């Protein structure tokens, strides 16, 4: 198996859609699942982060044990929407390529509708790996578009996460691995790779 590049997008995707993961309280998750889209009490006035790395989110939510992150949702969105988000993005790293100096990056970052952050990828046990995964922050300026135009399906992964957590706690690693969603390198256009600081 080839070693992943330092910064690349790995995701569950098909010809038209890509899956991103989010963790919420039961109140927000139940409302979203009932309506097939995000509705109140989901907030349309603050940044929401979407992540194609399942294991990164598991490390973040402690396998659904963290307060307010008990429910894991797999949100399938259009690839058109995903790539639109990346086309609007500015990396959170001031040293990102494409900016002549800090002030240029700061001005772009402050006005950006979307933020991109590269975080250390995680193993099944939550250990850091020597490469990064992406998370994408959608500001209030694009959240309505995300909810109304990009989302094609929301699936409750909470029970799957619980089973995996139980397998890990009982050291049945092979059973836990079999429940991992597939993730493949996403074919980003060169222009988008450069914009978000992905490896070429």
Q: What is the pLDDT of residue 100?
A: 86
Q: Please give the pLDDT value at position 1.
A: 58
pTM of the model: 0.95
Please, which residues bridge with residue 122 across strands?
128
The segments of the chain whose pLDDT lies below 50 read: none
- C-alpha distance from residue 65 to each of 28, 34, 43, 62, 125 (Å): 16, 23, 22, 5, 15
> What pLDDT, on a 0 to 100 scale, did the predictor assign at position 171?
96
pLDDT of 130 reads: 97
């Amino acid at each position: 198996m080839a070693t992943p590049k330092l910064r690349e997008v790995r995701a569950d995707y098909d010809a038209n859609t890509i899956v991103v993961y989010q963790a919420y309280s039961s109140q927000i998750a139940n409302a979203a699942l009932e309506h097939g889209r995000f509705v109140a009490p989901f907030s349309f006035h603050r940044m929401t982060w979407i992540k194609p790395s399942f294991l990164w989110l598991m490390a973040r939510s402690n396998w659904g044990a963290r307060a307010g992150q008990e429910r894991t949702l797999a949100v399938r969105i259009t690839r058109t929407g995903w790539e639109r988000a990346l086309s609007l993005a500015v990396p959170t790293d001031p040293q990102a390529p494409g900016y002549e100096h800090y002030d240029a990056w700061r001005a772009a970052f402050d006005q950006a509708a979307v933020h991109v952050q590269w975080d250390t990828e995680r193993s099944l046990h939550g250990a850091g790996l020597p490469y990064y995964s992406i998370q994408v922050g959608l500001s209030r300026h694009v959240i309505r578009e995300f909810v109304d135009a990009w989302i094609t399906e929301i699936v409750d992964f909470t029970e799957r996460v619980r089973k995996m957590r139980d397998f890990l706690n009982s050291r049945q690693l092979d059973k836990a691995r079999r429940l991992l969603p597939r993730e493949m390198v996403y074919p980003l256009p060169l222009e988008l790779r450069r914009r978000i600081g992905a490896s070429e």
